[in-house]
Amino acid sequence: MSGRELALEIPDEGKMMALGGEFARALVPGVIIYLNGDLGMGKTTFARGFIRALGHSGAVKSPTFTLVEPYEFPEVTVYHFDLYRLGDPEELEYIGMRDYLERRSVCLIEWSERGTGFLPPADLVINIERKGQGRMVKLLALSALGKGLIESVSESPSQLFMHRE
């Protein structure tokens, strides 16, 4: 692998949360992560693991009806977007999408394809597909920030529970 792509086989929900936690530990403020996959593939589970690893102890649910849910931490604010119910990508202008793009923020964006043309470019795209009872997670870095995240996670000793493709 070049550091720009990585494929991991995730056997269950607990491991998907652990993967989200690994990305949180490698956190770089200002990063934009797209989470793509069909319904029930684990996008929100990944986000839950990410947000809980930063210290959030409350519920982390998909912001399907509110479009965005903020999580404040001392070093960073995580904005968790779910664009599943977005009627038109232009609605992102009305909710002030640009206001969420700060140097100390992280944006986790589910259903990013529904915001095409109005979303900022991703640093990292995470595509999740069903593979047997588990999931195949394909990571693609589109910037130096994204490449750094993939490299940090792929070098992590706790990644031993995953099978690389």
| Residues contacting residue 106 through CB under 8 Å, at least 6 positions apart | 27, 28, 29, 30, 31, 32, 33, 76, 77, 78, 79
**How large is the average pLDDT for residues 8-13?**
92
What is the pLDDT, as a whole number, of residue 58? 86
Average pLDDT value for the chain: 86
Other CB atoms within a 10 A radius of the CB of residue 2 amount to: 8
**Inter-residue contact 87 to 60 (CB < 8 Å):** no
What is the pLDDT, as a whole number, of residue 154? 79
What is the pLDDT, as a whole number, of residue 160? 42
Looking at residue 86, which CATH number applies to its domain? Answer: 3.40.50.300
Q: What percent of the chain has pLDDT over 70?
A: 91
Report residue 165's pLDDT band, with 50, 70 and 90 as the boundaries.
very low
What is the pLDDT, as a whole number, of residue 92? 82
What is the pLDDT, as a whole number, of residue 52? 96
**Which among 80, 35, 31 has a CA at the least distance from the CA of 59?**
80
How do residues 20-67 score in pLDDT, each as one tens digit? 999 999 888 999 999 999 988 889 999 999 999 999 988 887 776 678
Domains contained in the chain, number: 1
How do residues 101-146 score in pLDDT, each as one tens digit? 877 899 999 999 988 888 899 999 999 999 998 899 999 999 999 9
What is the residue range of 14's domain?
A: 5-164
Q: What is the 3-state secondary structure (H, E, C) of the chain?
A: CCCCEEEEEECCHHHHHHHHHHHHHCCCCCCEEEEECCCCCCHHHHHHHHHHHCCCCCCCCCCCCCCEEEEECCCCEEEEEECCCCCCCCHHHHCCHHHHCCCCEEEEEECHHHHCCCCCCCCEEEEEEEECCEEEEEEEECCHHHHHHHHHHHHCHHHHHCEEC
